[in-house]
Amino acid sequence: MASSDTVEVRGHLLDSGVLSRCATDVRSLGGDYVIERLDVGKDSGDESYARIRVQAEDDAALASILMRLNAYGVNLTEPGEAATRVTETDGVFPADFYSTTNLDTQVRLDGHWVDVQQPEMDCGLVVVRGLEPASVRTVPVSDVRAGDEIVCGAAGVRVTRPAVADRDAETFEFMNSQVSSEKPQALLVRQIADEMRQTKAAGKRILWVGGPAVVHTGAAPAMVALVENGYVDVLFGGNAIATHDIESSMYGTSLGVDLLRGNGVEHGHEHHIRAINAVRRCGSIAAAVEQGVVTSGVMHALVTHGRQFVLVGSVRDDGPLPDVYTDVIAGQRAMRAQLPDVGFAIMVATMLHSVATGNILPASVPLVCVDINPATVTKLADRGSSQARGIVTDIGLFLEQLADELVPQRPRSHRSA
Amino acid sequence: MASSDTVEVRGHLLDSGVLSRCATDVRSLGGDYVIERLDVGKDSGDESYARIRVQAEDDAALASILMRLNAYGVNLTEPGEAATRVTETDGVFPADFYSTTNLDTQVRLDGHWVDVQQPEMDCGLVVVRGLEPASVRTVPVSDVRAGDEIVCGAAGVRVTRPAVADRDAETFEFMNSQVSSEKPQALLVRQIADEMRQTKAAGKRILWVGGPAVVHTGAAPAMVALVENGYVDVLFGGNAIATHDIESSMYGTSLGVDLLRGNGVEHGHEHHIRAINAVRRCGSIAAAVEQGVVTSGVMHALVTHGRQFVLVGSVRDDGPLPDVYTDVIAGQRAMRAQLPDVGFAIMVATMLHSVATGNILPASVPLVCVDINPATVTKLADRGSSQARGIVTDIGLFLEQLADELVPQRPRSHRSA
Amino acid sequence: MASSDTVEVRGHLLDSGVLSRCATDVRSLGGDYVIERLDVGKDSGDESYARIRVQAEDDAALASILMRLNAYGVNLTEPGEAATRVTETDGVFPADFYSTTNLDTQVRLDGHWVDVQQPEMDCGLVVVRGLEPASVRTVPVSDVRAGDEIVCGAAGVRVTRPAVADRDAETFEFMNSQVSSEKPQALLVRQIADEMRQTKAAGKRILWVGGPAVVHTGAAPAMVALVENGYVDVLFGGNAIATHDIESSMYGTSLGVDLLRGNGVEHGHEHHIRAINAVRRCGSIAAAVEQGVVTSGVMHALVTHGRQFVLVGSVRDDGPLPDVYTDVIAGQRAMRAQLPDVGFAIMVATMLHSVATGNILPASVPLVCVDINPATVTKLADRGSSQARGIVTDIGLFLEQLADELVPQRPRSHRSA
Amino acid sequence: MASSDTVEVRGHLLDSGVLSRCATDVRSLGGDYVIERLDVGKDSGDESYARIRVQAEDDAALASILMRLNAYGVNLTEPGEAATRVTETDGVFPADFYSTTNLDTQVRLDGHWVDVQQPEMDCGLVVVRGLEPASVRTVPVSDVRAGDEIVCGAAGVRVTRPAVADRDAETFEFMNSQVSSEKPQALLVRQIADEMRQTKAAGKRILWVGGPAVVHTGAAPAMVALVENGYVDVLFGGNAIATHDIESSMYGTSLGVDLLRGNGVEHGHEHHIRAINAVRRCGSIAAAVEQGVVTSGVMHALVTHGRQFVLVGSVRDDGPLPDVYTDVIAGQRAMRAQLPDVGFAIMVATMLHSVATGNILPASVPLVCVDINPATVTKLADRGSSQARGIVTDIGLFLEQLADELVPQRPRSHRSA
């Protein structure tokens, strides 16, 4: 690390996470850092102060890092003078132009700090020397003209972090959304597959929590492949996932055709209540499998491969199936009894049973929540399952790709549709 | 078709779509039908009347169909007497039990119509004969007891469609949501692949409209494979998709690593404005490709394979890239100029440019809109692109699977992450 | 009605709802109509044909109506020749210009039908006479030039409805979204208030179904005012609404301050489990009210005013409160027992208990579902409660305004915050 | 502050925000604190350590605080022995029971730390002494039995914060959602009204950014009242808000009736393109007001009260209105020219123009974003406008209540509907 410089920052550092973000950025840009000094205000309202030494491979890399830190209000302890360069072409900045934030900013020119007029993010800084003293204003790249004098690099630029003024008046929170559907999902699938393999290798059990969308999105064959290959030790769910799975198995011709043709599952059809009635006649799902009433699907696979399931009912249930706990406290007890040796938990497409499982799961069990609705993922974390990691994606495609990763050799007949 | 019977229905048939739903259900249950009579009220407030002959293979199939139609208020013209059967087991109905709706219902017993008490959906009908005259009430499957007398089949059951009372007071609409993420997505991907192949076979062009999530979700490699194999003739988009694609190409080491590691694209980084500045220096995206400034990604593939793109700016743009139309009316003209010979249009992950394209696209061009946000799909249809078909799914996984379908032989290096 | 003309339309009229939309539009534009003829295809695949006589006050009003119907593919039986007018100003159409759809369109010029090139919605039609025969193309208002010959009125214009080609291939549905937050909500509040007053005047009961957001959004005082004034006869809910309401009452100093200051209800605090424990010690909510443990809030108001409530638990519950049915089937029975004499049902901010209530409610009971999440409203209708009307709005402001309507004189102390 | 004790915590304190959360909780429970020592790891991977002295009014208040801090892994430096109490009633804990987290927990009994079995949140801790040594396990309140020995208070309880294991593997983020619709909205309205009054009192201007939902939700009269009373100095928007506002003014009879009756604004009607055409004929919105073509609505109020507006077009626009900037870069310049002296900015129901305004607004201008869609609020903050505060609520009711606060005397004719 041949190049280094020292930066400093003041403010409510503990609350703001700014130190953490600096650390992440320095490393991601190939540099390193040492916190040389950190003074924490003793009282709750006091500001803190940090001084950090930043290192990089060469001056160019260091300049990149310093400009990035600058954006958080982390300034050079010895800022020096601003360097400028004259633009050669209309609408184009010099390559190493200083890219602005929307925070209050000052530029050091001829030994004086000059306030930047009208701070605006993602602009350059143009120095206007016509009058004395020189002034500095933001200019968007579309409006820069050949001959403009543009600030380059982070030297001589100082950014002020906004003070968090009056605590009691702060009735809204700053937002910091981190549940997003804009992630490389194919990669996430691979990571989950890896975690599942490691869980099995460590002799631990994998817990699934699932909703009926597993069936509706056509992912039952993928799920069956996962059961058959040992990646589902226990399934928590409600009356709906089991009912729709069994309905799909029993009314294969018609509903199967619907699923195959993509016509979707019509609501209000009476098939589900007839399926429930038939299983009630058998006495249990296992008995229905034994008597040949249920011959395929996720529940069939769980029964025939000796996997566990706990179905807990809700007030909106029809029926329910005979295996469903209608007393929710008894259901919670049955779920708790399945937790020992669980080493990985995955929740797909169900808010009610995901939150219920989150309620009883130790924080030490890794937990992934997959849902097309960001609200489900958020709610889980809001309620205390802080270890929850969320993936906002399509359940059908997700399970299909997960089965491709974990059971690559599965026959076509085990693929969806 | 050995068995048949005649049903009738009254009400606002034209508004309600009930005839269409009947037709669909009869066919999906393996039957057929003939509309024997249809009287339409001449004036706007009048009720209509339809009489329909329904046919099925045997009596059991016919009974299924008749029970289903019954749920829409379509009743037998000659209902006869209700058939009943005594329950043998607690909590289990006879197999052919009549499954209720929540509409007003009557049962014919001993020559009289008896009102069903407290209509409730997905229940059975129990006949209580203790007092004279007999009464009928709904019973959920959990509460039926051995010895209960349960109505079976559709004979002797009459359901009344709710009148749509006062037109002017009808200030809310009945809801009929048909955008859902609960569809078998793997199948939909296959159908779109088929349509694309047919479009190419017919010598027509495929139009894509894309947003930056194509890049953020890690799907650029899949998109590149589609471009290289001829499935993208022209791309409409804004400044963002091209900027993020080029930024990802130029800052490959760091940002590429981020994408590979799944750390996502950090917001507020200045990379995008530096990428824009660099391309502005070259003068155009094509020039940046030629000069080796842009060496990979979707825009690179479009340029090197001679495909068209039209980028139209918006008020939230930084820069923009030199190819971007900053005048939106000029941009609309450039988009219109690309429409001839377009035989299929697909819109992924962008509301602004999807609606803009919908505005200028003839209704005769098949149109698929893919977005994780149902609102985008809905908005498109609401604004008049009634041919739009919506898929609510994850863009990253969707494009990955579409590329798997259309370019099955693509090398690993063309796969995401 | 001095002016009239005759139109006709062919296609899958029963499925498409086109006749219904025509009727609505004719009336909303001040006209009237008579269906003169309606031929329905006997077989399922056959097209239908309708001939309709349309009347209006004068020729201008009639022209408006005819242009509107034209957009649905409903054309004049005797179209005549197209009328055109020459534009006087760049970028401005003649006032009565024909506004296009994106459907295939033809214009009658000199006795021949001429296809419109590149159909696009919301454009004008310009007649180009240079070559023989004349051609017609769409032109957006921004691109029309002085001297252009523009089609005006509906005469001589024919629009073709798209055929719904291959039924079996129709795997996506046409979308027809009708749940929207873009409605005049202040008006809807007034209508619900009216319906509630009428329900009470008719001696019927009002059923509420509520979730904890009633408390979180600060609407408990509004809800209390509604209880005290007789607009809440029975409340269905779960453990959460009652727990948060009671927690808010018991930990008034701290939590009340939080609510007043807008800091929201922090999750993960143990107050709720302490509140539950305290009520369990009393034995019931009514006992907790009697013993002075619970002294305010919605549950307190229900108890002191002798209103009914049914709380049914779910698998995600902590505790629960002693009044909560832990057996969901027993809970359903308790809910059913409250349905007689219910004349109006309103569901606010809860999906689980709303769907559960929808399951057991007769279709004859008017039902309004209020939620900030459109999915809740949609789900309710999807599951069979077709009478459900949805309002997508903010619960806190909604209840505040509803209380303003129904209890205008309520003291400030009964207002939120 | 008569009672005090000392706590300590280890871990990635800077990243986690745990110190900030402790500070907030201590104060909200009426206590105070001093950070006695804070050691920060010099290198990026090092753990930090903090020792904090906590004070409260009495021992009971101190115990409350200590139990709360304990939940974050902040433990007593001298924990002492756990205190226990025997339960008197089935299903009820002692009042001061220790309420658990789901983190790894230990209890000090007879001088030894005993691991809690199966950590689960919101439970009590029961000590089982039958065997030697004693064991401790979690028990939910529903399952506690009279005679059970339950841990009370925070003494002798130690909670371990989870280590954030492998930085590079940390590909998902912990979620921390803070945009919620579950807030007391009536209070937020009042706070915004206060800020607006203060802005005006300070001689600053109020900037509004608005989308067409302002009109669709029936809030135009409320908005007009705000304009007339000086609370709107400048409005940024697009073609849509102005078009729908003017359309609503021009086609008052029919569309006005629709709005009044709540039938909503039908899409695909050609009224909007006719309204645009009429204003284009006048040459500008101001000219249309002058010539009596536009006689009411938001745009009319802005013109007649001499307020500013900047309308910037987008690629999806029809028309557009003559005042709309079709060049987006020119539009950005016009928006920037309005920023001086803006002291408060409010964005309602538009994502495109809100993000565009956020792009050019200094961070020092307070900014509130109001939308029924949480995604709009989130997106704004994600793109760098970190000062943005979000309110997820209904626009129509929000503007109605804001006008009630700021213009309480406004006549009924200025109220919606």
Query: Residue A348 class from Cβ within 10 Å (0-12 exposed, 13-18 middle, 19+ buried)?
Result: buried
Candidate from A368-377, B87-96, B226-235 with smallest mean pLDDT: A368-377
Contact B340 C118 (CB under 8 A): yes
The string of DSSP letters for B232-266 reads: -SEEEE-HHHHHHHHHHHHTIIIIIHHHHHT----
Closest CA to A357 of A329, A331, A335, A389: A335
Residues of A in contact with C317 (CB under 8 A): 328
Q: How far is C354 from chain A (nearest CA, A)?
A: 8
Of A376 and B75, more confident: B75
Residues of C in contact with B192 (CB under 8 A): none
Q: Check residue C382 and give its pLDDT.
A: 60
Q: Cβ contacts of residue A387 below 8 Å, gap of 6+?
A: A363, A364, A365, A366, A367, D162, D174
Beta strands in D214-307, from DSSP E residues, in sequence order: 234-237
Beta strands in C179-301, from DSSP E residues, in sequence order: 205-210, 234-237
Q: How many helices (H) and strands (E) does chain A have?
A: 15, 17
Q: Check residue C99 and give its pLDDT.
A: 87
Contact C364 B162 (CB under 8 A): yes
Average pLDDT over residues B143-162: 90
Contact D329 B326 (CB under 8 A): yes
Let me know the angle formed at the C-alpha of A142 by A136 and A145, rounded to the nearest 5 degrees: 60
Candidate from C1-5, C249-253, D292-296 with smallest mean pLDDT: C249-253
Q: Check residue C160 and give its pLDDT.
A: 86
Q: Check residue B417 and give its pLDDT.
A: 45
Of A271 and A196, more confident: A196
Q: What is the Cα Rg of chain C in Å?
A: 30
Task: Please identify every stretch of chain D with a pLDDT value under 70, giving residue numbers as ranges.
Answer: 14-17, 41-45, 162-185, 252-269, 377-387, 411-417
Of C95, C273, C394, the CB nearest to D181: C394
Highest mean pLDDT among A120-129, B97-106, C302-311, D35-44: C302-311
Candidate from A298-302, A326-330, B198-202, C396-400 with smallest mean pLDDT: C396-400
Q: Check residue A263 and give its pLDDT.
A: 37
Candidate from A91-105, A201-215, A381-395, B233-247 with smallest mean pLDDT: A381-395
User: Which residues, listed in sequence order, are joined to residue B206 by a DSSP beta bridge?
Assistant: B344
Q: Check residue B372 and give its pLDDT.
A: 77
Closest CA to B212 of B283, B317, B315: B317
Q: How confident is the model at residue A266 (pLDDT cuts 50, 70, 90)?
A: very low
pLDDT at A170 over 60: no
Q: Check residue C178 and give its pLDDT.
A: 37
Q: Check residue D403 and give its pLDDT.
A: 93
Q: Check residue A44 and give its pLDDT.
A: 56
Using an 8 Å CB-CB cutoff, list residues of chain A that contact chain C: 168, 171-172, 238, 261-264, 267-268, 312-318, 320, 326-332, 335, 352-353, 355-356, 359, 373, 375, 382-384
Share of chain A above pLDDT 70, in %: 83
Q: 3-class SS at C320?
A: coil
Share of chain A above pLDDT 90, in %: 47
**Cα separation, A17 vs C102, whole angstroms:** 52
E strand or H helix at B157, and its extent?
strand B157-159
Q: Check residue C43 and give its pLDDT.
A: 62
Q: How far is B119 from chain C (nearest CA, A)?
A: 5
Helices (H), B285-336: 285-290, 298-304, 328-336
Highest mean pLDDT among B247-261, C6-20, D273-287, D293-307: D293-307
Contact B261 D171 (CB under 8 A): yes
**Cα separation, C345 vs C357, whole angstroms:** 9
pLDDT at A275 over 60: yes
Q: Cβ contacts of residue D25 below 8 Å, gap of 6+?
A: D65, D68, D69
Q: 3-class SS at D12?
A: coil
Using an 8 Å CB-CB cutoff, list residues of chain D that contact chain B: 168, 171-173, 238, 261-264, 267-268, 312-318, 320, 326-332, 335, 352-353, 355-356, 359, 373, 375, 382-384
Q: Check residue C137 and give its pLDDT.
A: 92
Q: How many helices (H) and strands (E) does chain D have?
A: 15, 17
Q: Cβ contacts of residue B395 below 8 Å, gap of 6+?
A: A181, B213, B214, B217, B219, B348, B349, B370, B371, B372
Query: Searching chain D, which residue's CA lies closest to the CA of residue A119?
Result: D362
**Cα separation, D255 vs C25, whole angstroms:** 12
Of C172, C263, C328, the CB nearest to A315: C328
Q: How far is B360 from chain D (nearest CA, A)?
A: 9
pLDDT at B13 over 80: no
Of A12, A23, A364, the CB nearest to D104: A364
The string of DSSP letters for A215-250 reads: HHTT-HHHHHHHHHTT--SEEEE-HHHHHHHHHHHH
Contact B359 C122 (CB under 8 A): yes
Q: Check residue D6 and give its pLDDT.
A: 94
Q: How confident is the model at residue A267 (pLDDT cuts 50, 70, 90)?
A: very low
E strand or H helix at C319, and its extent?
none
Query: Searching chain C, which residue's CA lies closest to the CA of residue B170?
Result: C389
Contact C362 B118 (CB under 8 A): yes
pLDDT at B222 over 80: yes
Query: Searching chain C, which residue's CA lies closest to the CA of residue A331?
Result: C315
Q: How far is D174 from chain B (nearest CA, A)?
A: 12
Residues of D in contact with B168 (CB under 8 A): 261
Question: How far is C-alpha C7 from the chain's CA centre?
Answer: 31
User: Which residues, listed in sequence order, are joined to residue A392 by a DSSP beta bridge?
Assistant: A371
Of D133 and B84, more confident: B84
Q: How far is A244 from chain B (nearest CA, A)?
A: 13
Q: Pseudo-torsion of CA C116, C120, C124, C130, nearest 10°?
A: -40
Lateral strand order in the sheet of B234-237: B308-311, B234-237, B205-210, B342-348, B367-371, B388-392
Average pLDDT over residues B41-54: 77
Q: Check residue D390 and give its pLDDT.
A: 77
Residues of B in contact with D331 (CB under 8 A): 315
CB contact at 8 A, D174 and D164: no
| Measured distance between the N- and C-terminal CA atoms of chain A, rounded to whole angstroms | 56
Average pLDDT over residues A40-64: 82
* Count of alpha carbons within 13 angstroms of residue D11, beta-carbon side: 19
**Cα separation, D11 vs D343, whole angstroms:** 41
Q: Check residue D198 and give its pLDDT.
A: 96
Q: How confident is the model at residue A25 (pLDDT cuts 50, 70, 90)?
A: confident
- Give the residue from A217, A243, A276 with the most B CB atoms within 10 Å of its CB, the best one to mutate: A217
- Give the residue from B174, B209, B315, B327 with the most D CB atoms within 10 Å of its CB, the best one to mutate: B315
Q: How confident is the model at residue A297 (pLDDT cuts 50, 70, 90)?
A: very high
Q: Check residue C168 and give its pLDDT.
A: 32
Residues of A in contact with C355 (CB under 8 A): 316
Residues of A in contact with D336 (CB under 8 A): 118, 120
Count other Cβ atoms within 10 Å, centred on residue A81.
12
Closest CA to C383 of C399, C403, C366, C363: C363
CB contact at 8 A, C140 and C150: no
**Cα separation, C316 vs A328, whole angstroms:** 8
Residues of C in contact with D261 (CB under 8 A): 187
Of D176, D336, D391, the CB nearest to A176: D176
Q: Cβ contacts of residue D388 below 8 Å, gap of 6+?
A: A175, D358, D367, D368, D369, D377, D380, D381
pLDDT at B172 over 90: no
Question: Could you check whether the bond before residue D212 is cis, i.e. omega within 30 degrees of 0?
Answer: no
Residues of C in contact with A382 (CB under 8 A): 267
Closest CA to C188 of C413, C409, C392: C392
**Cα separation, C67 vs C294, whole angstroms:** 65
Spell out the SS3 assignment of A259-314: HHHCCCCCCCCCHHHHHHHHHHHHCCHHHHHHCCCCCCCHHHHHHHCCCEEEEECC
Using an 8 Å CB-CB cutoff, list residues of chain B that contact chain D: 168, 171-173, 238, 261-264, 267-268, 312-318, 320, 326-332, 335, 352-353, 355-356, 359, 373, 375, 382-384
CB contact at 8 A, B235 and A201: no
What subunits touch chain B, counting only 3 or more CB pairs under 8 A? A, C, D
Query: Searching chain D, which residue's CA lies closest to the CA of residue B260?
Result: D171
Query: Searching chain C, which residue's CA lies closest to the CA of residue A327?
Result: C327
Candidate from B294-303, B379-388, C40-49, D178-187 with smallest mean pLDDT: D178-187
**Cα separation, A46 vs A43, whole angstroms:** 6
Q: How far is B132 from chain A (nearest CA, A)?
A: 31
Q: Pseudo-torsion of CA D280, D285, D286, D290, nearest 10°?
A: 70
**Cα separation, A81 vs A112, whole angstroms:** 9
Q: How many CB pairs under 8 A join A and B?
A: 212
pLDDT at C71 over 90: no
**Cα separation, D387 vs D219, whole angstroms:** 26
Q: How confident is the model at residue C172 (pLDDT cuts 50, 70, 90)?
A: very low
Contact A314 C356 (CB under 8 A): yes
**Cα separation, D303 vs A301, whole angstroms:** 70
- Give the residue from C138, C265, C397, C398 with the most D CB atoms within 10 Å of its CB, the best one to mutate: C397
**Cα separation, B85 vs B148, whole angstroms:** 8
Question: And the tokens for A184?
Answer: 């490389």
CB contact at 8 A, C156 and C107: yes
E strand or H helix at C381, and its extent?
helix C374-382
Q: How confident is the model at residue C121 (pLDDT cuts 50, 70, 90)?
A: confident
Q: Which residues of B238-276 are buried (b: 16+ CB within 10 A; e: fewer)?
A: bbbbbbbbbbbbbbeeebeebbebbbbbeebbbbbbbbb
Q: How far is B253 from chain C (nearest CA, A)?
A: 40
